[in-house]
Structure 1
Amino acid sequence: MARRVFVHIGAPKTGSTYVQNVLWSNRKALKGAGLLLPGSPSAQDQAMTDLRQVSWRDADATWTWDRLAAEAAAWSGDVVISNEALGGATDAQAARAVESLRPAEVHIVVAGRDLWRTFPSMWQQGIRARNVGSFESFLRSVEQGKFDTFWELHTANRMLRRWGDLVPATQRHLVTVPPPGTPHETLWLRFAGILGIPEGLCELTAPAANPSLGAAEIEVLRRVNAALGDRYPHRTPYQRVVQRHLVDAVLKQAPNKLRFGVGLDRADWVAEQAEQQIKELADYPCEIAGDLDELRPAAMAATFSPDDLDEKQVLDAAIETIIGMLAHADSRTEPPQPTRTLSRLKRRLLR
């Protein structure tokens, strides 16, 4: 039976990929120290889709939540399960997950990031998951209270209410994401401190590059999504084709010079929402790794919106994208194998 199980449930865009990369790249050392990562990254992702019963679960997925929980239960030490989409579970799904991990001592770990950076990154993440709505329509929906899903799936206070209420206060943990410019290992040290991982046990590497797309590039992708119709549906077909050959191979490699974000016309509203979130978290009994002040937006400056682009800017970005895809296709074209060429020549000469 596992002693403790740490369930890291998100939120998305809070450095979870970096934390997971450190965990998995040091899996052997962690296991030797008594901390198990059950399954594999893809197995934990499949288990998440099973737990949440999402419509886009891969038809070929073999890992279920119960299978993951069974592997955790068979371990005699501590266990960590980490997937940033777990935070989107419903009350009933979260309750099922926690109950399936008992009688181990279940800990819930949630990470929070300031809203000024969260809004644009979450909208972009949605576009990269095949959404088609504009940035302005997204902000307006949230502002007018018509998109409560954003708060439910991407803010620490809502996630803690669904998951944290299922365990004692001493087993609820909030990690605040440090501000820009902070050494990247700061986030890891906060996370490792919760799990009791000794400093120096894990070899730390720089976070894997996952650059944000510029305003023009994300607008091109948004329009591609809208034009796809029923082709390459979310999630596996879209990731296999569009994410791999367009986003990763081309758009991420573009200059992405024109950055975008929430406009200053909404600065007061964002600040007000942040203060409300900070107050709720301050009143919620949990262990905090970091500082709630880091959830307060800082350096709110004038920004650009993808909706402000003119058609020429979008067309120029689309043309550069096509050129980039040509180069990508060319790099994947295998040259004729010399042995095959010689064999064909020999056959012709004999004839």
Structure 2
Amino acid sequence: MARRVYLHIGAPKTGSTYVQNVLWSNRSGLKRAGILLPGTAAAHDQAMADLRQAYWRDASARWTWDRLAAKSRKWAGDVIISNEGLGAASQEQAARAVESLQPAEIHIIVAGRDLWRTFPSTWQQSIRARSAWRFQDFIQAVELGKFEVFWENYTATRMLHRWGDLVPAQQRHLVTIPPPGAPHDTLWHRFAGIMNIPDGLCELEGPTSNPSLGAAEAEVLRRVNQALGDNYPLRTPYQKVVQRHLVDAVLRQRENGLKFGVGLDKAEWVMDLAERQIKELQDYPCNIVGDLDELRPTNMKQTRTPDELDDGQVLQTAIETIVGMLAHVDSLSQRADRRYEEVLSRLEARAIRGVKRRLRSTSRPNP
């Protein structure tokens, strides 16, 4: 029976990729120290989709939430389950998840980031999940209260209420995301402290993240999504084709992308939202790791939005993207050719060995 289970549930775009990379790359050492990451990172993702009964979940996925929970319960030490999509679970789904892991001591870990940085990264996340709405339409929807999904699925406050209310206050944890310029390992040490991971147990690599796209790259992807029609409608096929061969292979590899964000005309609105968020979290009983002041935006600068790009800029980026995809396809083709030649060589070698064995057996004199 597990002693403690740490459920890191989100929010998205709060350094979760970095934390998860450290955890999974040190899985063996953690296990020797009595801390289990059950299954694989893909298993956590599949279990999350199953728990949420998401319409985009892969019907052929092998891992369900019940399977992940069963594996966790069998462990005698501590368990870590980490997936930023868990935070979007409903109250009933969260309750089911917590109940399935009992009687272990359940800890809920939520990360929070300042809204000035959260808004553009959330919009981009939606574009990378096949959405096609413009950045300003997204901001306007949030401002007019027409996109409650943002508050439900991408901010710490409501996640804490849905999940944190299910466990005692001392088992709820809010990690604030350090401001730009902070040592890259600050975030890891905040998480490690909550999960009782000793200093020095995990080897830390350089900063790893889920790189953001520039304004032009994001706009190219948005227009591609718009043009896809009924192609790759669900998450798994979209990830296998568009995410793998367009986003990961080409768009994310481009350098010097034009940064984008909320315009200064919205600065007062964003700051007001941040103050309200900080007040709500001050009133919510939980363990705060970091400083709530880090949720107050700083260094608010005027930036352009993808909507402000002229068609010439988007066209140039699209042409360069096509060139990049041609190189990517050529690389895949060469790799496939090499693989074919290797397989053919092995088959030929095997056939020759077989002929030699038969020749030797027929050339032996009968007794």
Check whether TM > 0.5.
yes
- Count matched residues: 341
The residue identity in structure 2 corresponding to 1:293 is D
CA contact (8 A) 2:123 2:135 kept: yes
C-alpha separation in 1, matches of 2:312 and 2:324: 18
Tell me the SS of whatever aligns to 1:174. Answer: strand
Match of 2:12 in 1: 12
Matching of residues 295-310 of structure 1 within 5 Å: 295-310=295-310
By how many angstroms is 1:210 displaced?
Answer: 2.9
2:234 is matched with which residue? 234
* Residue of structure 2 in register with 1:156 after alignment: 156
Please give the secondary structure, in 2, of the residue aligned with 1:332: helix
User: Would you say the 8 A contact 1:2–1:79 is kept in 2?
Assistant: yes
Distance 2:212 2:28 in 1: 32
Report Cα offsets for 1:330-350 as digits up to 9, x if no partner: 122225749979xxxxxxxxx
The residue correspondences of 1:197-212 to structure 2 (distance < 5 A) are 197-212=197-212
Q: Distance in 1 between matches of 2:109 and 2:191?
A: 9
- In structure 2, the partner of 1:249 is 249
Alignment partner of 1:145 is 2:132: no
Q: Is the 8 A contact 2:5 2:104 kept in 1?
A: yes
Q: Secondary structure at the match of 1:175?
A: strand
Q: Deviations over 1:264-283 (max 9, x none)?
A: 00000000000000000011
- What SS class does the counterpart of residue 189 from structure 1 fall into? helix
Match of 2:61 in 1: 61
Q: Please report how far the alpha carbon of residue 209 of structure 1 lies from its aligned counterpart in structure 2 after TM superposition.
A: 4.9
- Report the secondary structure of 1:2's partner residue: coil
- Partner of 2:132: helix, strand, or coil? coil
Return the TM-score normalized by structure 2: 0.91
1:98 shift after superposition: 0.6
Q: How large is the Cα RMSD of the aligned pairs? A: 1.4
What secondary structure does 2:333 align onto?
Answer: coil
Distance 2:165 2:28 in 1: 33
Aligned twin of 1:45: 45
User: Quick one: percent identity of the two aligned structures?
Assistant: 70
Change (3 A) 1:188 1:209: closer
> Secondary structure at 2:5's aligned position in 1?
strand
By how many angstroms is 1:207 displaced? 2.8
Is the contact made by 1:213 and 1:256 (CA closer than 8 Å) also made in structure 2?
no
Residue 287 of structure 1 corresponds to which residue in structure 2?
287
Q: C-alpha offsets along residues 20-41 of structure 1, whole Å, 9 cap, x if unaligned?
A: 1111111111111111111111
Taking the aligned partners of 1:87 and 1:265, their CA distance within structure 2 comes to 31
Give the unaligned 5+ runs of structure 1: 342-351
| CA displacement, residues 162-209 of structure 1 (integer Å, 9 cap, x when unaligned) | 000000000000000000111111000000000111100111112335
8 Å contact from structure 1 (residues 184, 207) kept in 2:
yes
What is the Cα deviation at residue 135 of structure 1? 0.2
Q: 1:89, CA displacement in angstroms? A: 0.1
Q: 1:340 to 1:26 in 2, by over 3 A?
A: closer
Q: Does 1:71 align with 2:95?
A: no
Per the alignment, in what secondary structure is the counterpart of residue 19 of structure 2?
A: helix
Structure number, greater radius of gyration: 2
**Where do 1:58-137 residues align within 5 Å?**
58-137=58-137
The one-letter code matched in structure 2 to 1:120 is P
Q: Quick one: distance in 2 between partners of 1:76 and 1:194? A: 19
Cα drift, residue 256 of structure 1: 4.3
Structure 1: how far apart are the matches of 2:324 and 2:252? Answer: 11
Instruction: Indicate how the Cα distance of structure 1 residues 339 and 277 shifts in structure 2: closer, same or farther if over 3 A, else same.
Output: closer
Corresponding position of 1:321 = 321
Contact 2:263 2:303 survives alignment (8 Å): yes
TM-score normalised to structure 1 length: 0.95
**Which stretches in structure 2 are left out of the alignment for 5+ residues?**
346-367
